[in-house]
Structures are given as structure tokens and as C-alpha cells.
């Protein structure tokens, strides 16, 4: 079966993000960009399913500017078979991405789409859920373990999710949507030979118009501000002084 893995190019998680002086957003000029960490986990999971011979083809897809090709090449070096870039210079909001992915699903007919649970730039946590709704497919979000089985020709996914106070196990028939949580797996590093091989793999480029999707943004960002600076702490001489400060200054006891 085919698996589709959407991967987003985001500011690398090690970079301390800076807000643009005019408050219009985050400064991405000359900043290291990488694959969204939850999407690396999604690619890894797809590759492991292929290694278990459950999956036959992994298609990585990214929506965004030309530079997203680098992110797709990383996915190819990790083990994806081919890639699709839906190229657009428009700021793509979650609903637009979900509609683009739906169009790709209609074209490619995968049995499973594995996405990250959220992109670490906007922390939206929306695309997987919106895609499931648009397709009318079942979804299991925040997966920490995935098992795929088959009975009488029907494939099923059993997904464990970490929830408050325990583990929840869901079962659903494929085709389905799964989004990954941090503990699902530890993604592999792409080796040099695989990076070289990835350069020769197929990477198709499509425009949103060709998919019949209107990607016009619907949300306007009014302002982005840095979090308030934390004030430095102070030292107290003993417990008595601490209690006095908590009572008289912080007024919390």
C-alpha cells in the first residue's frame, strides 16, 4: 500500500526565533530551516512500515516555496520513494494545506497519510484533523505506537495515544489519517550514500491552480510579539524570609 507523508519546512528547532521589528511575523531571513521534527517522525514511521513490507511506496509531499525541495530531499534520503512539491509563494494556512493534501490524496490514492501532530512554527495542530474531515476518513492523532494488520482483505490500524493519565488505544479501518507524537520513534539520520541516492529520486512540482485549490489566506495576523522578558530571581536568607515574601510581596499565601 501507498503512504503519503506531508512534510513542512520550518525554522530549525535549535534556532532562537526573532520577531520582525514591525511585529508582522517571525524573521526567517538567514535562519537555518529544517524539516518539522514531528514530520521526521512521520517519515521514519513510514520507512519502518516499508521495512516490515506493510508499505510498498512512500510519497513525501510539501506545500510551499521552491526551497521546500530541500526538505523533500531530506525525506527522500531518509527512505521516501518519491516526492511532490506543491509550489506556492502565498502564505499557506492550515485549511489551504489540508485542501492541497486532499487533492494529492485524490490523485495518488494512498491508504494511509501520516502527518506530524503539529508544525513547530505556528503550533496550529490543525492540518491532519482538517484533512480527515475533508476526506471523510477516520483519524488517530498524537500516535505513540502504530500497528497495521489485515483481515479478510481489510487493513486496520491500531494506534496508541498518550492522553492525560494513561494510554488510549484506537482501532480504525484504512484508509485513515494518523498524526505523530514525539515518542512514536526516533528518526534515523540520512547517511551520505542515501543523500546522494536521494538526488536521483523523482520530485514532481505542481501548482495549487493545477489541483483546483484556492489557497488565498483567510486569517490575518494582527501582531506577533516576543514573550515578556523574565525578571531575574532573588535570594532569601532563610525560610522565614521566604514565607514573609510570599505572604507580603507575592501575596500567594
Check binding of 8 to ligand AMP (CB under 6 A): yes
Does position 175 bind ligand AMP by CB under 6 A? no
Closest distance to ligand AMP from the beta carbon of 45 (Å): 12
Binds ligand AMP (CB under 6 A): choice among 6, 79, 187, 208: 6
Query: Among the candidate windows 21-29, 33-41, 43-51, 212-220, which touches ligand AMP by CB under 6 A?
Result: 33-41
Helices marked H in 52-190:
68-78, 94-108, 127-135
CB 154, min distance to ligand AMP, A: 26
Which of residues 119, 140, 174, 178 is near ligand AMP by CB under 6 A? Answer: 119
The DSSP bridge partners found for residue 148 are: 157
Going by C-alpha positions, the residue among 17, 155, 25 that lies closest to residue 91 is 25
Instruction: Identify the residue among 47, 76, 85, 115 touching ligand AMP (CB under 6 A).
Output: 115
C-alpha span between 88 and 80 (Å, rounded): 22
> Taking CB under 6 A as the rule, does residue 124 contact ligand AMP?
yes
Give yes or no for residue 141 binding ligand AMP (CB under 6 A): no
Closest CB to ligand AMP among residues 196, 210: 210
**Among 35, 63, 72, 76, which residue sits at the site for ligand AMP (rule: CB under 6 A)?**
63
Closest by Cα among 62, 5, 17 to 187 = 5
Residue 101 to residue 215: CA distance in whole angstroms: 12
Let me know: does 215 contact 95? Beta carbons within 8 Å.
no
Give the distance, in angstroms, between the CA of residue 80 and the centroid of all CA atoms in the same chain.
Answer: 16
CA 59 to each of CA 16, 33, 71, 129, 149: distance values in angstroms, whole numbers, following the listed order: 31, 21, 13, 20, 21
* Count of residues of this chain found to bind ligand AMP when the rule CB under 6 A is applied: 22
110 and 178 in contact (C-beta within 8 Å)? no
Binding site for ligand AMP (CB under 6 A): 6-8, 36, 38-39, 62-64, 92, 94, 97, 115-116, 118-119, 122, 124-128
Amino acid at each position: 500500500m501507498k503512504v503519503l507523508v506531508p512534510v513542512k519546512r520550518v525554522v530549525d528547532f535549535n534556532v532562537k526565533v526573532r520577531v520582525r521589528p514591525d511585529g508582522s511575523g517571525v524573521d526567517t531571513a538567514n535562519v537555518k530551516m529544517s524539516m518539522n521534527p514531528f514530520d521526521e517522525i512521520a517519515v521514519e514511521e513510514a520507512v519502518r512500515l516499508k521495512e516490515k513490507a506493510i508499505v510498498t511506496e512512500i510519497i513525501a509531499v510539501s506545500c510551499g516555496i521552491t526551497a521546500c525541495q530541500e526538505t523533500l530531499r531530506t525525506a527522500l534520503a531518509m527512505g521516501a520513494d518519491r516526492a511532490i512539491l506543491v509550489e506556492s509563494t502565498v502564505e499557506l494556512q492550515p485549511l489551504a494545506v489540508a485542501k492541497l493534501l486532499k487533492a494529492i490524496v485524490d490523485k495518488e490514492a494512498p491508504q494511509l497519510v501520516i502527518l506530524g501532530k503539529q508544525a513547530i512554527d505556528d503550533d496550529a495542530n490543525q492540518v491532519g484533523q482538517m484533512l480527515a474531515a475533508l476526506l471523510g476518513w477516520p483519524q488517530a492523532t498524537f500516535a505513540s505506537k502504530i500497528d497495521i494488520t489485515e483481515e479478510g482483505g481489510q487493513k486496520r490500524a491500531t494506534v496508541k495515544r498518550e492522553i492525560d493519565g494513561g494510554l488510549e488505544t484506537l482501532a480504525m479501518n484504512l484508509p485513515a489519517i494518523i498524526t505523530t507524537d514525539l515518542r512514536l520513534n526516533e528518526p534515523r539520520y540520512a547517511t551520505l550514500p542515501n543523500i546522494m541516492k536521494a538526488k536521483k529520486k523523482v520530485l514532481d512540482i505542481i501548482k495549487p491552480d493545477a489541483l483546483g485549490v484556492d489557497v488565498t489566506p483567510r486569517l490575518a495576523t494582527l501582531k506577533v510579539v516576543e514573550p515578556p522578558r523574565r525578571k531575574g530571581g532573588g535570594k532569601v536568607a532563610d525560610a522565614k524570609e521566604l514565607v514573609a515574601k510570599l505572604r507580603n510581596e507575592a501575596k500567594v499565601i
